[in-house]
Structure 1
């Protein structure tokens, strides 16, 4: 898909993703699975016994095949499909027959009887099946009582036979009516055909004797001969055109042929060939002797050869002298083929003229012979067809009447039903397995649906996919760590070493974030290690130029940027660095509450009232860590942060401290981070897993990009270590915790207690 100007690749699910989904939505999947499983289990063990009774019957394949030639499709069908029988069973007439028969059945009445609703419900349990390539069909009924199942299937089969017989009678009556109409029409057509034939004979005096005396046959033979010669002539002309085209490719005039030379010798030879050919055609037409025909063939071939040689010699003498030696043989070959094809064409034309003349002569001697013979054949054929159809309809009409009176409906019972002795096996294990599969499938389906609806960011891969921004660190969300620290404070009655009027006091309203500071968690738990990893990654972002200033911000409130600012500053101070936190969230400042310091004087007093830098920098209980609180909330925070004095302060602090971290408001809420980002130079975006919509994070990132802020990466905060969202993060923190806590069980039993730096005992 496309997000803005970036193309975001669709996520490809792996086995780890499916396991991760199951862990994140395990309660939903478990609830759905248990609910479905309990329902299926209860049904399996409380389901009453079910009995099945079956009747086997055969069906006729259809009507007499002879009717297929006269019946339209809607009246005739060779083999009815299963859908036809199901349609009969679902018809209201069939159901009414069963209900009426069941209400008066003596066995059912003796067994307690059935109401109309009960019978109607049992009709819905009637099943019908048909074997492929077979006339056998099976009708079965299931009921909780074996006698009821037996009687209902018996009644259903009887009603089905009756209904089938009624349908067949209706079809037979329709067939008789249709055939009767066709008989009347065929009788009329037959009378018309006989009358037309008689009128033709009386008018033309032409009978079948005229057709049989050979005149028509001879005329047809001559017509076929003319057609054959015309085809051969056209083929010979096409071949001649090919030779002329090939010879025309040469530069000289070499296309001289049989008709290009008019010498007395050649003209006489053509005339003799034509006369001999006519004599031969006459002999063949009059059944002349074979010896005479062979002699004429020899004379014709002899003169053709003489004519060929004469024409070929003259053509060669006029052109070969001008031709290069390399083309002489090719030209001579094509010239010889051309002369031979012209002689063949000459012979075919003579034969065609002869047979055309003979055909015309026959037509003059016997006018209208062909037309009369064709008309006579047509009339005789019409009479024969109508006569055959009429006789056939008479026969089938009688058969249809007999079938209408004696039809059985095409249904014959082969095996009658009997009272079932045992119920149908319930197969409880299969039902339970179906319940398991159904429960898991429905649970995972709902989990997928909720996961699809969830548009929040959960993993570093999603940040990289949607923003193209690398994730520098991941901070786990472990509630028990915070609770453990809170218990430690209460048990040891320790106080925070803050300053109130110069005295260390106990603040009864300690900020909730205070219990999540690193010193309260101990140096060997996963949360501390996560900040160490973040600190290390930041140190290696730019090895040549170490980062001096970092602006921490987020897209929306509540994503943990302030707590991450405090813990990251503590982590850097543990390296012996001189670190300063500047609380730039003048609307809702929290840093002074986290470290239990004074809110004023702070940044507002420095920027607006001209107080000195030394007066607003407060020391915390952490060695090397200082804080400039937000101070008094001003009416115009954005203008103050955009002032020249703020720009000078950022430059001055970078010179005095090893690292300065600026805690700023959320980007979506106010414009303060957009003002500070270009001034500070390095921005770290905090994203809380599972809380913020990725569209909001993308919007926040785009706002920073518009002011050319240098966003070095993101911190994914609150990553679940028990709810899924990735094998790496879950097991990373798990094994990290195992690594640091293994072997410490004995030390935990010691009475000595090592106090964190942030606390002092009262």
Structure 2
């Protein structure tokens, strides 16, 4: 067998020399095209606005201690979805054409403006930062500036509009609840007045002092019960918000089902223990602690089993679940306080049987009036807060740096483009030469 011929450096040089015109032609044509493109392309200008996503107070309906959901920021996907909508592009294009016409007198067709908005206006985001960048590029510094400025204004207006719609829904809900609370308050005041006229209250001697003490205990009980009702209303609002954020819920795995059964069993044991006579305060608190731990594990299991599409939603869901668990613990504490005052009242009634009936009825009527009065005042206050938020909201985003008309175009990097063109042309020529040689 003949040995295969070894290809050496001289052979490659020979191929290059024999195919030099092909290599030279490829090199010159690619370099010429690159040179023409580099020096005839119009300059490109860029303008950008920097925005910061703000953490706003949630729509607080009932909780007198603060925000219902705590400070929550809109997810970045919210702003991306706005900029992708056709209505957003239409509004930005309309603003750009109007600002070019007045006072510059430049007529820009609407279809060209829409094309500019779609292809030349972008939103840059970061998963590790709360800052957004609306960037525009065009062959005119004025047009570039108007694109970025108009895009920023429309984004803020659309976000503020969404907040106003939510605020109006809150106002409608508050008005309905306020009317209902006012009716209940008026009925409670009427019943209390009729009782005072019918019975009268004796304030002298041991009976009067005992009655005053009983009334004071009933007032304390009423305050605790009012806080408990508010906490339960907040808990329902949390569940409603979670259902809105997670419309598609998973069926849950075996761990979720097992935790749900354990919680139901513990709550049943606790209810039976509360109904039994005698002191069971320590046992009830121990059960409350176990139930809280199980519910926390259940929340974590539900979050793990739920398909959430964005990191922004995951943060919001985690915040909601954490606040919901805290509200449940608050309800358990209030229930313990409620049992404490109820036991004191029962003991006091046994010691003063002569004034029992009238005192109980008076305390119950006073408690009912206080509960509805507190509820009405809270709704009145929150209604005013919702009106202020609706009129002064920022839309969840704040402009940190406004867009400015650029003075200089984006660097063209001519030298880099020419070097790359020469390298590509030379490589292409060598490739063609060797391909023809070995075909």
Higher helix share: 2
TM-score bracket, shorter-length normalisation? 0.3 to 0.5
Higher relative contact order by CA 8 Å / sep ≥ 6: 1 or 2? 2
TM-score (norm 1): 0.27
Report the structure number with the largest CA radius of gyration. 1
